[in-house]
Structure 1
Amino acid sequence: MARSGKGSGHGRWAPTDDLLHLVDAFLGGRDQSLQLINKIERILIDHFPDSDVFEELTEPLTLFRPGCGTPYYDVPEMEEVLRSARDGIAALR
């Protein structure tokens, strides 16, 4: 998922850019897969383990299993969680 800084407006790649791209893909319905959620989780673990966003998202990301019912998170619940966390993700810059 790493990209060059071209077009990012920052002059260099930032993990926050990838997080926002992935979250927006999920929220926009372009990709709501477990693989995408795993990518979000990996970026948070690798780059932001001490952040409030990490604390907020760790449990929901780990419990995302579409169609499995309680106690797992399905697509609508994950959309709500990611929508709520999006501003915090943008602030990680």
Structure 2
Amino acid sequence: MQPKSCLLVSLAVASLLAVVPVHAESTANADFQAELNSILTRGIETKRGIIFHMNGEEVAGVVKRILKDAVLVANQEHATILIRLDRIDAVELD
């Protein structure tokens, strides 16, 4: 194989490999967001507390409302807490 064609093949393979993880990551993120929405909805219906894990911190509270890109939560300390959905790493439904 000539150096020029070898370079083209290498670039083609590299570009294909770069696309695959993005699709897998977007699918995993979509699955996470769907399950997160399900847990938040159950939290509203049952009026049970949820612990939100975000960047090593925990915030506990009861879900008041689910917005397009955030969730409104209340606890004993704060009447209203606004949490962005894309910042949530994990949740625990009590």
Say yes or no: TM over 0.5.
no
Greater RCO, 1 or 2 (C-alpha within 8 Å, sep 6+): 1
Highest CA radius of gyration, 1 or 2?
2
Q: Which structure dedicates a bigger proportion of its chain to strand? A: 2
Higher helix proportion: 1
